[in-house]
Structure 1
Amino acid sequence: MKRRHLLVLAPATLAAVAADMSSAAPEPSPTIRRAIPRSGESLPVIGMGSWLTFDVGTDLAQQAQRRRVLQRFFAAGGGMIDSSPMYGRSQWLLGELLPSVPHEGKLVAATKVWTPFDRLGEGQLEQALALWHLARFDVLLVHNLLNWRGHLKLLRRWKEQGRVRYIGVSTSHGRRHDDVMQLIRSEPLDLIQITYNLADTSAEPVMNLAAERGLAVVINRPFDGGDLFQAVRGRPLPGWASEIACANWAQVFLKWVVSHPAVTCAIPATRQPGHMDENMGAGHGPLPDAALRQKMQSMLGRL
């Protein structure tokens, strides 16, 4: 569902916006950051995914659009960008665009190993470094637990060699939670990536265990693949949205996710610069408390 279908501005609203533009904009509130437990390093709570959205070839117009997405991301204080060899040309495009976008000291580069074969894992990571034009990664994950036994050995070796700072595993769509919990208990991980959103809260026991064991938690699919926008199509924002400085539904969905105490960072994906602005707005202002989080979840259940 396209977010542009969710809001139609009336002429009076447009006039008010134009009038407001004549006055100085208020100073933005500080970016909300969360610590990676293993190191204490903090991350902005809103990062960026690249599944589908950055799988772009040589079309110059599409490349320029993705460059604007990256520009808005870093200008708003973004940090973590996540990709994978599974994501088509996304790693290549990120490597092509990042040098032309100011981001000195901001990028937290995260990607994955994704192959059933031990012998291909290292070559895949070497290729990823070359595609991103990096000397090392910040985060490396075993994508969807594929051959995790073999690849975690590889990631540990790369960490010992200083070629990556944090290692872990990923899963999505509510899959294999029992396996992830077992790995949290048995393997020296720094981070997990997992699906969590207002329509799918099944990962909460995994997230809580990860927090107890000192792991960072990165959230994929915070919009449930866009289905959350379909659920609220045509509905105005609830009155309580202003209490947590939410100007649109994307910020409602993201603030609910990152207000969970176990969450370190959420990584929504978009191809639209305007949508990136909406996403990054969720990294500022107050977050819902436990009572409001429950109210927000109950609201969606009634839709």
Structure 2
Amino acid sequence: MPTRRSFLAASATLVAGLGCLNLPGTAFAQNSSNLLKRKIPASGESVTVVGAGTSGSFEVEADSAQYQQLKQVLKVFFDGGGQVIDTSPNYGGADAILGRLLEEGGWRASTFLATKIAADSRAAAEAQWAGTLRSLRTDKVDLLQIHNLRDWQRQLPYARELKAQGLTRYVGVTHYVDSGLDELERILRNEALDFIQIHYSVNSPAAARTVLPLAQDKGVAVLINRAFDDGRLFARVKGQALPAWAGEAGIGSWAQLFLKFAISHPAVTAVIPATSRPDRQLDQLKAGSGPLLSDAQRDQLIKQFA
């Protein structure tokens, strides 16, 4: 069954083949203004709605064929107007790979860089943060999130301290399964946040009942993870045709449809799908242009994948 991690099954042959393609030369990649932008309520700053994640996809060896392929992935991403990249210090070395790639490609200034604290004490968080900056080869990030609400009562104040020091511009919290929604709702009601990150997909739409509307009411930006349900959605639609109305929404693949479903919720700031393949990266970016889905279309998809 395809999963997000299975996207790591990249080969040197594919790298060579993609090197022959003029991916940045496509009309879509040339005109990054086609990408929809959403404002971050805390500042009014705008970011493009299709970002990228690093879990699984960036867990590779430096200088390997997969590493060289990731360089092509990032070239497609930035040439296509992408900005937001989300990572974490506990993604199996992905931070160090991302930091090196951004430095080699000269892309750091173009990146809205989001990372996380995943620690159980203040001392552990301080040590982790120092290591994060080293791995990412930067002196500050754009967004620092408390990973999966882990020790958030202690770590969120620490993140705010780092924000006050100018080491991050925004702070937030994350989760990835329905069991975290109630606590996330309580935090949204009682804490000042710039961002939340949560799962939201055609087969897992529960966040839209309370968390997403609440974030919108509170002026909190939203990043969406697991829009593909870690790849399981692709197994469910294998061999199936897209809905008849997909073309009217500019949708040419199931990946684009799953991403546009999330983007079409008005509370969502950006989706952050992970991939290790340039062709998939180019395909995913296309979800950020064209018409959004109507409420009726989104409801139809929820019923289809329930």
Does TM, scored on the shorter chain, surpass 0.5? Answer: yes
Mark the structure with the bigger radius of gyration: 1
1:167 to 153, 168, 171: 171
Deviation at 1:128, TM superposition (A): 0.7
1:199 to 199, 203, 216: 203
* CA–CA distance in structure 1, aligned partners of residues 243 and 165 of structure 2: 51
**Counterpart of 1:118 in structure 2: which amino acid?**
R
Matched, 1:128 2:132: yes
* CA–CA distance in structure 1, aligned partners of residues 212 and 48 of structure 2: 18
- 1:181-223 alpha-carbon deviations (Å, 9 max, x no partner): 1111111111000111001011111111111101001000000
Aligned equivalent of 2:98: 94
Matched, 1:158 2:162: yes
Moved more, 83-92 or 93-102: 93-102
- 1:92-138 alpha-carbon deviations (Å, 9 max, x no partner): 00011112224364200000010112211012111111111111110
TM-score, normalised via structure 2 length: 0.88
Q: Structure 1: which 4+ aligned runs deviate by more than 4 Å? A: 24-29
2:40 to 9, 13, 36: 36
Deviation at 1:279, TM superposition (A): 0.7
Deviation at 1:238, TM superposition (A): 2.0
| Fraction of identical pairs, as percent | 40
**Counterpart of 1:37 in structure 2: which amino acid?**
P
Cα 1:25/1:127, change in 2 over 3 Å: closer
Cα 1:25/1:269, change in 2 over 3 Å: closer
Deviation at 1:175, TM superposition (A): 2.7
1:227 to 216, 219, 232: 232
Cα 1:238/1:38, change in 2 over 3 Å: same
2:253 to 244, 248, 253: 248
Q: 1:73-88 alignment to 2 at 5 Å?
A: 73-88=77-92
> Given that residues 210 and 216 in structure 1 are in contact (C-alpha distance below 8 angstroms), is that contact kept between their aligned partners in structure 2?
yes
**Counterpart of 1:142 in structure 2: which amino acid?**
I
* SS of corresponding position for 1:177: helix
* CA–CA distance in structure 2, aligned partners of residues 184 and 25 of structure 1: 41
* Length, aligned pairs only: 281
Matched, 1:239 2:244: yes
Cα 1:103/1:58, change in 2 over 3 Å: closer
* CA–CA distance in structure 2, aligned partners of residues 77 and 51 of structure 1: 21
1:141 to 139, 142, 145: 145
Gaps of 5+ in 2: 4-25
* CA–CA distance in structure 2, aligned partners of residues 25 and 154 of structure 1: 44
* CA–CA distance in structure 2, aligned partners of residues 109 and 175 of structure 1: 27
Cα 1:25/1:118, change in 2 over 3 Å: closer
Aligned equivalent of 1:266: 271
* SS of corresponding position for 1:172: coil
Aligned equivalent of 1:284: 289
**Counterpart of 1:173 in structure 2: which amino acid?**
V
C-alpha RMSD of the superposition: 1.7
Aligned equivalent of 1:12: none
> Given that residues 176 and 225 in structure 2 are in contact (C-alpha distance below 8 angstroms), is that contact kept between their aligned partners in structure 1?
yes
Aligned equivalent of 2:10: none
> Given that residues 70 and 276 in structure 2 are in contact (C-alpha distance below 8 angstroms), is that contact kept between their aligned partners in structure 1?
yes
Aligned equivalent of 1:7: none
> Given that residues 74 and 102 in structure 1 are in contact (C-alpha distance below 8 angstroms), is that contact kept between their aligned partners in structure 2?
no
**Counterpart of 2:245 in structure 1: which amino acid?**
W
Deviation at 1:85, TM superposition (A): 1.2
Deviation at 1:59, TM superposition (A): 5.1
Cα 1:172/1:25, change in 2 over 3 Å: closer
TM-score, normalised via structure 1 length: 0.89
* CA–CA distance in structure 2, aligned partners of residues 162 and 198 of structure 1: 38
* CA–CA distance in structure 2, aligned partners of residues 215 and 95 of structure 1: 27
